[in-house]
Chains A and B, each alone.
Chain A
Amino acid sequence: MQMQANEHIGEAAELYAAGQLDAAEIAAIEAHASACEACLRRLGEAEETVLALERVNKPLAPPAATNVLPFARRQISPWWLLPAMAAALLVGMLWPRAQPQHNVAMLAMVNGHFSHAQFAGTGPKAKVLYARDRSWYYVIVAGTGRYDVYGVAGDNRASLGSTNAAGSTSELFVKNKERFDHLELRDGSGAMETATIR
């Protein structure tokens, strides 16, 4: 279907609503409809047809109630978007295959708003992703070594557990409401890394 920008949508509205157009055709239609209210309404009518046909289906609650926008809440300033996407990208690179803890962590990330911090020190490359409300911490360490993770708040140090090998990385996902100043990563050789939680 070749469509010019000044051409009304016509029967293409139904093809659009039925998912039968390619990306270029969709772009042409949307560009036209954005400047032509009659055609915009025409698209809406075709979409009402789809809705009428789909009303026969029982509305089902998606498995797991989730926030629809992982990053977008008005109280979160826009600077948050890039770090969040970078963190998600990092997780994607570190976990080419889904692992059980990875699934839990990904669900936590989808459900909430998270930040991340890099571990610095003498150990391997490592990162912690954590919920902004501190409801969970997710430690990812390059390599398959086992590391003990501690949360430090002032003079208090709490053991959060140990990482477990998962593919080419080692991970620990822990639910914890405490607001730690930083996390520590230790192994048997005495190597230690610290990540500051802001």
Chain B
Amino acid sequence: MVTAFASRTARSVSVRDVSLEDAFARREADAYEGAYRSFGPRMYSTALRLLRDAEAARECVHDVFLHLWRRQNAYAAQRGSLEAFLVTCARNAALTQLRTFSRGRAAIGKFPAEVAYEMEEDPIERERVARALRQLTSDQSDVVQRAYYRGMTLSEVAADLTIPIGTVKGRLSTALRALRASLIPGNADAG
């Protein structure tokens, strides 16, 4: 109904529908279906990029909604945009599937970083993200490619790069904050 928060940048952040977010937080069924219609496609494409399996990605999106439906206080509008919350949930659910099933485990090792770009449609978004990634140090980029794009666990990244797991955590965290500063100007690191 009401369109509220305008995007922080010209492109990267969505306009937020406060009434939908509030209704979703109250766990109203209509809001769940509205959120599915609005954000399901991006959740699905996010899961699909990791899982490479249409049915598994579809189930992943449904699992997210069912899981949230069964939880009290899973989302609050103060947290941030519902779209960001749901896309992150979908990505994490897909990662869990990858890590749980052996076929997924096998797929992780084969998953080339370049695949992250094969599904891109918007060349402007692609260039923005590519530019932001290029601004990372090579150490940070190594960790982001493995932990974020390939879905490797922190310990897998640590073993692959032969660095301590604490270093992996620090580099990943710092890199993602740097990416946020690049991709969402005006919303730089909150510390």
Contact = CB atoms under 8 A, between A and B. Distances in A.
Interface of A: 1, 11-15, 17-20, 33-34, 37, 40-64, 66-70, 72-74, 110
Interface residues of B, number: 70
Interface string B6-44: 000001111000000000000011101101100011101
A105 to B, nearest CB: 16
Interface in B49-105: 49, 54-55, 57-58, 61-62, 65-66, 69, 73, 76, 78-81, 83-85, 87-88, 91-92, 95-96
Nearest to B177: A14
Nearest to A13: B173
B32 A72 contact: yes
B148 interface: yes
B33 A69 contact: yes
The winner among B41, B84, B85 for most chain A CB atoms within 10 A is: B84
Contact of B120 (A43, A56, A64): A56
Contact of B147 (A18, A34, A44, A53): A18
A58 B129 contact: no
Contact of A54 (B29, B42, B79, B177): B42
A17 B148 CA distance: 10
Contacts of B58: 62-64, 66
Interface of B: 11-14, 28-30, 32-33, 35-36, 40-42, 44-46, 48-49, 54-55, 57-58, 61-62, 65-66, 69, 73, 76, 78-81, 83-85, 87-88, 91-92, 95-96, 116-117, 119-122, 125-126, 129, 147-148, 151, 153-154, 169-170, 172-174, 176-177, 179-180, 183-184, 187, 190
A68 B33 contact: yes
Given A20-B154, A62-B44, A40 B183 contact: no
Contacts of A68: 32-33, 35-36, 40, 62, 65
Given A47-B85, A58-B119, A69 B148 contact: no
